[in-house]
Amino acid sequence: MRFNAKDLALLARRPSGCFDKEGRLKICRVVGDEKLIEPRERWCRLKGNLLFLMKNKSFEASEVVILERCWVVEFRSKTDVSIVLKFQSGEPDLYLEAASKPDCESWAVALGEANSEGLQNKIQQLRRLIMEIKEERSSDEARQFLPSSQVDSLGELQFTSIQRIANEPKLEFSLACKDLVAATRDRKLNTFIQVSVVHPAEHILTRYSSTEIVEGTRDPLFLTGVTFPPEYPIYEETKIKLTVYDVKDKSQDTVRTSVLPDHKEARADVGRSFLGCTTFRVGDLVKSKEQQLTLTLRTSDGGKTVGTIEVNLVKMGELEDGETDHITTDAQDQKCALVRECTATEGISGRDNLPSLNAVLKNPICKLYRFPTSDNKWMRIREQMAETTLSFHVPKELINLHIKEDMRRNQELKDLGELAPHWDNMRRSVIAHCDQMLSMYQDTLAELGKHTGSSFKSSCSKGEKTLEFIPINLHLQRMHVHSPRLKDALYDVITVGAPAAHFQGFKNGGLRKLLSKFEAERRNTGYQCIYYSPENTAKAKEVLSNINNLQPLISSHADLLLNSASQHSPDSLKNSLKMLSEKTELFVHAFKDQLVRSALLALYTARPGCVLKKPAVPRNTAEEGDDLQHQDHPSQIKRQDSIPHHSEYDEEEWDRVWANVGKSLNCVIAMVDRLLEKDNISNIKEGENDPAAADCRMLHTGDWYEQLYPLVITLKDCMGEVVTRAKQSMAFVLLQELACGLPQCLMLTLRRDIVFSQALAGLVCGFIIKLHTGLHDQGFLQQLHTVGLLVQYEGLLSTYSEEAGMLEDMAVGISDLQKVMFKVIEAKSEDFLPIITGRREHYIIEVQLPAKMFELLPQEIKEGKLLRMYPVLFNVGINEQQTLAERFGDTTLQENINQENLELLKEYYKLFTEKMPPDCLPHFQEQNDLKGLLENLHQNIQAKKRKNVEIMWLAATICRKLNGVRFTCCKSAKDRTSMSVTLEQCSILRDEHQLHKDFFIRALDCMRSRQTQGALNESDDPETGCLTDNKPTSRHFYPVALLLVSSHLLVVWLILSLALLLAKYQ
């Protein structure tokens, strides 16, 4: 390109008012991230697409930059005041540094709009403004004839709200076009409609959503509708703009539905062309008699008519009347006549209008579809995805419990008393490590308390340490189906990233492998500490928990007994004695285990000054208690026990202390019986008017308290001595567990806590959703308290590389959910969030319901019966990494997990058939036999077929038929999860609601299309950022690596990958 140097120099010296922008900037050229020279200050003048660089305002231009085929990179940091101009030609980037952040932002805007593309965007924006002015001209002319008072009242921002049902979308409508005009006669149109909203208060055009693309017709009927959620600010005065586009190349078209800033305009997409647009007021649609508008589509200049567009108001559960429509099926040139009417069915939308559910779910995103059935009727589908506040609430509650539990454990270790130097040094080391771990938990809880913003963790944050307890992309995916001649139905799936410790990594595998390796190493600890099996360690924790729970209860019941005695109340005395007896019997039963005996002996030998007459011999088995009765036989000492024995230790002393509690209780019971018997005799004599009876009664009235008081004090003293010894012995067992594996033991506990926290948050969400959905289903409620709840996880992880470690973590985390019990209580306030109590080996989740909902529950649940969970996991890897694992790796992990969980599922089904009547199953159970499905699942798991997705479908079907909760998980709950969920939804519509077979693929495309998302932008993706819709993408469900085309290329690629991995870890 040639330039006239004289003319450019003359232009550069023109007065300041002639330039678009000017000012001082520091400028240099940049190659990559390196500056060629230090930035130098220059006076910059911008005119059109020319940027003049001058040494000073009075000097001539030393350089001219042409702002074409370039773009501006602006740094988003609050402190950064620099921008970079990047050129498509490949020449070095231009670095510009301003004096302040506002100055930097103004230069970025000016430079971004300086090229020809920016000029075209301005022209398009002006055209749109002209169209809007023409549309509003009629209303503006009418305002001229109104009195000034009325004009002023119109200017006030008072808008008419749309009447709606609580928690239902404010507005929903479907779209169809007719008689569209193509640019050429022979062209077949591939059209979609872009929906934009003009807010009456701001008069800003905001892109909201788009329909799917309908190919090869000038009369497209769109299956994807438009829905506005309850919280969206839409009124009768709101205007909606509908723009119709023709997609020239569907593979290159990418329809963005982002909310545009005020000063920016989206650039034109290469693969589509504008056909026409129209605008209507929401009030006109809502108030129309037929609830339908027929609008004329016009070109951008408003002159030419290019067709019509029909807007139909949609209300779920109501009839859609109209004439027969013809829409194109998936088969080429095939037409399907569809009668647009539905029979009235029982709606279920009002069931979830509940404040307690609203406390758990937030930020719902809705989509609306209408699909034809096999008998040429319409069914409507509302797809909803919602975040949950439980993503952060449950982990914070859990971490708080961990902190309290660990603080109690540390204190119990300190209360062990004086120990021999070896054991004392071990205790100090353990406490030091535990204090560090406790500090880490406290720091994590503090950081989570500061968290604001999104209520879920996006996958790009899965490696952040402060968020490692938070599940990834935990969402509810709900499909509400209103189909002809069938009852409305809800289908819920919880989508979440696989529970795994991403921050800690998977270099050495996941929990399944790490726990097995750690347990094997603990058995060979030699003479450093005493080995206790995991079962005995868990038993020790259970004993300590029972002590902490029962001791205060027994003390309070003993005080109530004395209080009843002082009041001389026989009935109250009986009740208090009954409660005291029950709790004391539980207390005594907790110490019947042989573990307490053996631990007391071990603790005795660990005291300073203890001289052993028999040597301490470590043992390799986990059976500590069985050999105590044979300790006098030397042949059995050598191989059995790592717990030392001492001939001078009096084992009967513990028996006497432990038995004293029962004896003291028996004394209390005998005394109460004696007092009550005397009271009965006095009452009989009073009835016979015996004068001595009154004196006797007065004599014994004051004796009740005095006679019971010393016995109750004795009971408390005996109980206190038992508690002291038992606590110390069990704390010594925990000391051995920690000392045998420092610091690996604590790190494994941390990893297990992290994985369990993620799994528990999803489980609590799924249980609450299922409880609200089945609140009116008496069969489900009976199953809930009689059998328990089936929780089925669908895993899509591969068994290759890091995902194998994730699968190991996930398997352990889901298995740990078996120690979770649920309890439904009546809410006493407006806070309906669940309450978590318990310890690591046993948790109770208290779900709060409002009084009206609580009354609907069976008596067993209202009385506080604990509800069991039965989690099962079935995993099938489906991506290209699984192909590598199946051909060159190992799939044993997946096979073992599926086989183990199949047995758990069979056990649940057996329990279900034994305890539940056959008529409690859903109505469609008659079509398929559950026993046959289980047998089919068993055969598919045994077949060991590659990527056998039939396992997933069978497990999901069995779960739904058993009223279970469905989970779908992959690495980040995005691509694979969304493909699986959408396929499952369309399969349900086909099998249960008679979706027309020719529209299965088209329905699947609608649900997976990114362009139907409402009010989202590129970063609104669980994989990359913030608010999300249901993560659909246009990828294939079973992707295949390109390298698999050639086995030689695959081998080369595999060798290079192994070399990179070795170099990385070395």
Contact 718, 539 (CB under 8 A): no
User: Is 368 in a helix, a strand, or coil?
Assistant: strand
Determine the residue type at 447.
Answer: E
Tokens describing residue 878: 């489906």
DSSP state of 479: E
Of the candidates 575, 506, 1037, the one whose C-alpha atom is nearest the C-alpha of residue 805 is 506
Burial class (CB in 10 A: 0-12, 13-18, 19+), 699: exposed
Q: Using CA atoms, how far apart are residues 174 and 161, in angstroms rounded to an integer?
A: 21
* Strand partners for 276: 244
How many angstroms separate the CA atoms of 540 and 547, rounded? 11
State how far the Cα of 639 lies from the Cα of 647, in Å rounded to an integer.
Answer: 18
Which amino acid is residue 230, in one-letter code? P
HEC letters along 598-633: HHHHHHHHCCCCCCCCCCCCCCCCCCCCCCHHHCCC
- Among 44, 177, 366, 970, which one carries the catalytic annotation? 970
Run of H or E residues at 198: strand 190-198
Contact 562, 712 (CB under 8 A): yes
Pairing mode, strands 325-328 and 335-338: antiparallel
Residues 938, 966: contact at Cβ < 8 Å? no
Cβ–Cβ < 8 Å for 848, 854? no
Q: Cα angle at 905 between 899 and 906, to 5 degrees?
A: 90
| Nearest CA among 114, 35, 111, 29 for reference residue 73 | 111
What distance in Å separates the CA atoms of residue 72 and residue 111, rounded to the nearest whole number? 7
Q: Catalytic site residue 177?
A: no
Q: Closest Cα to residue 136, out of 297, 274, 264, 302?
A: 302
261's CB contacts (< 8 A; 6+ apart) are none
Q: How far apart are CA 289 and CA 307, in angstroms?
A: 23
Backbone angles phi, psi at 687, to 5 degrees: -65, -25
Nearest-CA neighbor of 560 among 668, 696, 679, 717?
A: 668
- Coil/strand/helix, residue 387: strand
Query: For residue 119, what are its two tokens?
Result: 């000029």
Closest CA to 54 of 14, 18, 24: 24
CB 551 within 8 A of CB 587: yes
Pairwise CA distance, residues 801 & 807, whole Å: 11
As a whole number of Å, the end-to-end CA separation of the chain is 54
Tell me which long-range contacts 622-631 makes (C-beta under 8 A, separation of at least 24).
622/531, 622/532, 622/533, 622/535, 622/536, 623/533, 624/532, 624/533, 624/536, 624/594, 624/595, 624/598, 625/593, 625/594, 625/595, 625/597, 625/598, 626/594, 628/594, 628/597, 628/598, 628/601
Cite the active site residues. 970
